[in-house]
């Protein structure tokens, strides 16, 4: 019977130590990784209290508090469980923390994705929480650990007032005390050994490697790693904003390739397919949350069913990123514009190729009609263009827009140098030329807007990735644009936000006033 009790006590002690090490490991890994953040895990929340979890990442200060509590909660709970002190409190606290992880991202949300750690309703977080609740039913001094040692020492001191009957009892008591000491302190060398092994593995104490970063599973719960490009803690500040009429818009906006899958990758025709495979609904929503956390409050997206479906999901979860809709009106067909208005767009504009064609064919009334319709519905209205002939035609024909969207980038990159002009429109590439340039006259564009007070949103500012963001953003804002539309992946959002923040807060050589 005594052996069975010892076996039970040791079994549950080992179980407590294992779970304690899991918590401790996760806490230490996050503490020594300055780029870790809970932002991505909270972004993915889509069940109970998802609005609250999303709110937590909307402010950088709040997020830092959440990260601090998460890291030190894991460390303290893990240490208490590992060495066996305050175990009941640690078990209950650990179970509650794991249940929070479970509620934030329950396994059935990802049930369509096979996973070794998700079993539809059950996952490792729920299993570990249940074990901790079982361990919480034991008294603190039942299992081996520091608390049991302290309790044993205390009981020995209390028993000293009653001296032993003979030397045999004295020796037996001394032997029992020594065995208890060894059993309860056994976790200390174990802790040292596993910590050394962890540090060695992760490169913290390696002479050959300099602080290697280790990646852990980003879905299973307490384990979450965000790569360098994901870390919200690297954000220098929220992207500055301006206004078009009474609508506040971030100076950089995320572009529509996020959903549409149109990748201007020149002759690499398969890239658009890859882009669509990568940008699942959840990946788009995650990217929008990341934009929101960085102060990028506007997305310029196509008006189609895919966009509306994804934005509806995002907004239902508490997202606040605004939709500026790219629309496709026909001669007498405004159905696409009505779709944007009915589904929450804060503004709309005529797509660039359509506007270019209208002006080229001298059908200016086909541009006036959709612009006036959008304005009459109470939205901010504009037109996009690849050719400078479009905004010039609007000025000449009295078409009043709230903003222009115009391509703008320099031509100092290899594929731009070989692109001839179109003789019928000096602001467009020649016909049958591989699409490698989108702004044939950046100086002419800059001169036009210097004399125009309408807010200007520049797009194609990086020439489909041919120009580095720092170079392209500076050229854009110093050239007079009030806003920049930029296509970006999730792993580029923070870098682009930091780049824009630094440039917009620097001493720019900008001649045009800000008209927003």
CA–CA gap between residue 402 and residue 394 (Å, rounded)? 12
- Is pLDDT above 80 for 180? no
Which pLDDT belongs to residue 179?
57
Which pLDDT belongs to residue 167?
45
pTM as predicted: 0.63
Q: Is residue 304 part of a domain?
A: yes
Q: Is residue 181 part of a domain?
A: no
Give, in order, the Cα–Cα distances in Å from 393 to each of 48, 222, 389, 441. 52, 58, 6, 16
* Residues 255, 192 share a domain: no
The larger pLDDT score, comparing residue 397 to residue 53, is at: 397
Domain total in the chain: 2
Which pLDDT belongs to residue 225?
36
* Residues 280, 191 share a domain: no
Q: What are phi and psi of 327, to 5 degrees?
A: -120, 165
Arithmetic mean of pLDDT, 110-115: 45
Instruction: List, in sequence order, the alpha helices (H) in 105-142.
Output: 124-135
* Residues 29, 117 share a domain: yes
Q: What number of H helices and E strands is found in the chain? A: 21, 14
Contact 351, 344 (CB under 8 A): no
Q: Is residue 210 part of a domain?
A: no
Contact 403, 394 (CB under 8 A): no
Domain span at 322? 248-504
**pLDDT band at residue 246 under the 50/70/90 scheme:** very high
- Is pLDDT above 80 for 421? no
- Is pLDDT above 70 for 450? yes
Which pLDDT belongs to residue 123?
83
Which pLDDT belongs to residue 286?
84
Give the chain's length: 516
Which of 293, 236, 319, 295 is closest to 40 using CA atoms?
A: 293
The pair of structure tokens assigned to 369 is: 């009609």
- Listed in sequence order, the residues at least 6 apart from 148 whose beta carbon sits closer than 8 Å to its beta carbon are 84, 140, 141, 142, 180, 184
Cα 78 versus chain centre, distance? 27
High-pLDDT (> 90) share of the chain, %: 45
3-state secondary structure of 196: helix
- Is pLDDT above 60 for 480? yes
* Residues 281, 134 share a domain: no
Which of 484, 465, 488 is closest to 474 using CA atoms?
A: 484
Q: Which of 136, 171, 202 is the last residue of a domain?
A: 202
* Residues 267, 123 share a domain: no
Contact 303, 344 (CB under 8 A): no
Q: Is residue 174 part of a domain?
A: no
- Is pLDDT above 70 for 420? no
Q: Where is average pLDDT lowest: 74-88, 129-143, 251-265, 344-358?
A: 251-265
Which pLDDT belongs to residue 9?
85
Q: Which of 170, 202, 234 is the last residue of a domain?
A: 202
The pair of structure tokens assigned to 199 is: 């540090």
Residue 247 DSSP symbol:
E
* Residues 315, 198 share a domain: no
3-state secondary structure of 425: strand
The larger pLDDT score, comparing residue 187 to residue 235, is at: 235
Contact 345, 324 (CB under 8 A): yes
Which of 341, 236, 344, 337 is closest to 295 using CA atoms?
A: 236
**pLDDT band at residue 178 under the 50/70/90 scheme:** low
Arithmetic mean of pLDDT, 153-179: 50
* Residues 121, 268 share a domain: no
Which pLDDT belongs to residue 322?
97
Which pLDDT belongs to residue 75?
94
The pair of structure tokens assigned to 18 is: 């294992």
* Residues 342, 288 share a domain: yes
Arithmetic mean of pLDDT, 489-494: 89
**pLDDT averaged over every residue in the chain:** 80
**Run of H or E including 458:** strand 456-459
- Is pLDDT above 50 for 169? no
Q: Is residue 241 part of a domain?
A: no
* Residues 256, 194 share a domain: no
* Residue 254, domain CATH: 3.20.20.100
Q: Where is average pLDDT lowest: 110-114, 136-140, 487-491?
A: 110-114
* Residues 198, 252 share a domain: no
pLDDT digits (tens, 9 = 90+) for 182-215: 555 555 555 555 555 555 554 444 433 343 333 3
* Residues 349, 292 share a domain: yes
Which pLDDT belongs to residue 267?
56
The pair of structure tokens assigned to 347 is: 């503004």
Question: Integer distance in angstroms from the first to the last C-alpha of the chain?
Answer: 82
Give, in order, the Cα–Cα distances in Å from 24 to each of 80, 87, 280, 478. 9, 14, 34, 50
* Residues 474, 334 share a domain: yes
Q: Is residue 311 part of a domain?
A: yes
Residue 513 DSSP symbol:
P
- Is pLDDT above 80 for 251? yes
CA–CA gap between residue 502 and residue 470 (Å, rounded)? 9
Which pLDDT belongs to residue 205?
45
**pLDDT band at residue 155 under the 50/70/90 scheme:** low
Q: The dihedral of CA 340, 263, 407, 441: what is its sign?
A: negative
Three-class HEC string of 208-231: CCCCCCCCCCCCCCCCCCCCHHHC
Residue 334 DSSP symbol:
-
Arithmetic mean of pLDDT, 327-334: 92
């Amino acid at each position: 019977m005594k052996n069975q009790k010892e076996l039970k006590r040791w079994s549950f002690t080992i179980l407590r130590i294992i779970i304690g090490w899991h918590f401790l490991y996760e806490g230490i890994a996050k503490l020594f990784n300055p780029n870790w953040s809970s932002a991505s895990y909270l972004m993915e929340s889509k069940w109970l209290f998802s609005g609250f979890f999303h709110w937590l990442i909307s402010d950088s200060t709040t997020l830092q508090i959440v990260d601090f509590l998460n890291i030190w909660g894991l460390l303290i709970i893990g240490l208490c469980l590992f060495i066996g002190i305050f175990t009941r409190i640690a078990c209950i606290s650990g179970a509650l923390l794991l249940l929070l992880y479970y509620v934030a991202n329950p396994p059935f949300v990802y049930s369509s994705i096979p996973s070794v750690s998700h079993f539809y309703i059950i996952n490792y977080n729920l299993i570990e929480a249940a074990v901790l609740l079982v361990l919480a039913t034991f008294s603190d001094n039942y299992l081996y650990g520091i608390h049991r040692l302290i309790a044993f020492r205390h009981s020995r001191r209390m028993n000293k007032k009653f001296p032993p009957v003979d030397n045999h009892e004295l020796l037996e008591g001394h032997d029992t005390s020594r065995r208890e000491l060894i059993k309860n302190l056994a976790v200390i060398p174990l802790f040292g050994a596993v910590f050394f092994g962890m540090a060695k593995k992760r490169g913290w104490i390696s002479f050959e490697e300099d602080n290697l970063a280790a990646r852990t599973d980003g879905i299973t719960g307490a384990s979450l790693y965000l790569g360098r490009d994901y870390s919200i803690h690297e954000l220098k500040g929220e992207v500055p904003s301006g206004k078009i009429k009474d609508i506040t818009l971030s100076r950089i906006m995320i572009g529509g390739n996020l959903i549409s899958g149109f990748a201007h990758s020149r002759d690499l025709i398969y890239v658009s397919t890859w882009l669509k495979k990568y940008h699942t609904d959840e990946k788009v929503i995650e990217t929008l949350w990341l934009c929101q956390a960085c102060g990028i409050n506007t997305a310029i997206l196509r008006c189609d069913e895919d966009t509306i479906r994804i934005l509806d999901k995002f907004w239902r979860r508490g997202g606040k990123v605004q939709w500026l809709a790219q629309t496709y009106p026909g001669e007498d067909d405004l159905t696409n514009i009505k779709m944007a208005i009915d589904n929450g767009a804060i503004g709309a504009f005529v797509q660039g190729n359509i506007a270019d064609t209208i002006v080229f064919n001298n059908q200016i009334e086909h541009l006036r009609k959709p612009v006036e319709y959008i304005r009459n519905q109470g939205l901010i209205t504009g037109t996009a263009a690849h050719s400078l002939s479009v905004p010039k035609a609007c000025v000449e024909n009295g078409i009043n827009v709230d903003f222009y969207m115009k391509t703008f980038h320099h031509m100092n990159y290899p594929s731009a140098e070989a692109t001839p002009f179109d003789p019928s429109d000096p602001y467009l590439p020649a016909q049958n030329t591989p699409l490698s340039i989108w702004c044939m006259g950046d100086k002419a564009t800059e001169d036009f807007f210097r004399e125009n007070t309408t807010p200007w949103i520049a797009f194609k500012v990086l020439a489909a990735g041919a120009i580095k963001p720092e170079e392209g953003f500076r050229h854009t804002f110093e050239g007079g644009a009030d806003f920049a539309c930029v296509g970006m992946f999730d792993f580029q959002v923070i870098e682009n936000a930091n780049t824009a923040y630094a440039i917009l807060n620097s001493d720019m050589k900008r001649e045009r006033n800000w008209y927003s």
